[in-house]
Amino acid sequence: MGTTSRQDLDRWTSTYRRDCPSRTVVEVLANKWTLYVLAALRRQDGPLRFNELRRLLDGITQKMLTQTLRELERAGLVRRTVYATVPPRVEYALSDLGVEAGQLTTAIAEWSVAHVPEIAAARQAFDLQRRAEPRPVTP
């Protein structure tokens, strides 16, 4: 392995600063519903309409789906196409940038599914240990 240059270290360290522009990108991608919307759009053969997405994403509210889609469109990850029909038909699809981000979020989803048993066991062990720890006696 090569050594990390001071310039590379400074560049990565700056990403931890609150004024680093990359934080805004991470904030978009770290949203739970962003992960699911990107995954849903990535797994389909073509664009999806709003209600198709809503049916796929169990538990998302109309308001949250609207906010998530707007943020993804604003970030250039999703393309919104409006067709001049009555009533108007609107479809959502990943942009090229969204396809690339979708690869990352799909990897996270696949890792999550593969490791659910380990995470569940760790949580259970932690909770049991916490219950078994002595608690201070209060007078």
CATH number at residue 98: 1.10.10.10
pLDDT in tens, the chain (139 residues): 456 677 766 666 777 788 888 888 888 888 889 999 999 999 887 899 999 999 999 999 999 999 999 999 999 999 999 999 998 899 999 999 999 998 888 888 899 999 999 999 999 999 998 888 777 777 7
Q: What's the mean per-residue pLDDT of the chain?
A: 89
Tell me what pLDDT residue 22 has. 84
* CA 33/CA 120 separation, integer angstroms: 22
Domains of the chain: total: 1
Residue 72 burial (10 A CB sphere; 0-12, 13-18, 19+): buried
Tell me which amino acid residue 137 is: V
CB-side exposure of 136: number of CA atoms within 13 Å?
Answer: 2
Q: Is residue 52 part of a domain?
A: yes
Q: Is residue 59 part of a domain?
A: yes
Each residue's pLDDT tens digit, 18-55 = 888 888 888 888 888 999 999 999 988 789 999 999 99
Q: Is residue 1 part of a domain?
A: no
Q: Is residue 137 part of a domain?
A: no
Residues ≥6 apart with Cβ < 8 Å to 45: none
Tell me what pLDDT residue 17 has. 82
Tell me what pLDDT residue 137 has. 77
Tell me what pLDDT residue 9 has. 64
Tell me what pLDDT residue 117 has. 97
* CA 121/CA 116 separation, integer angstroms: 8
Number of residues assigned to the chain? 139
* CA 55/CA 103 separation, integer angstroms: 22
Q: Is residue 14 part of a domain?
A: yes
The tokens of 60 are what? 């998302």
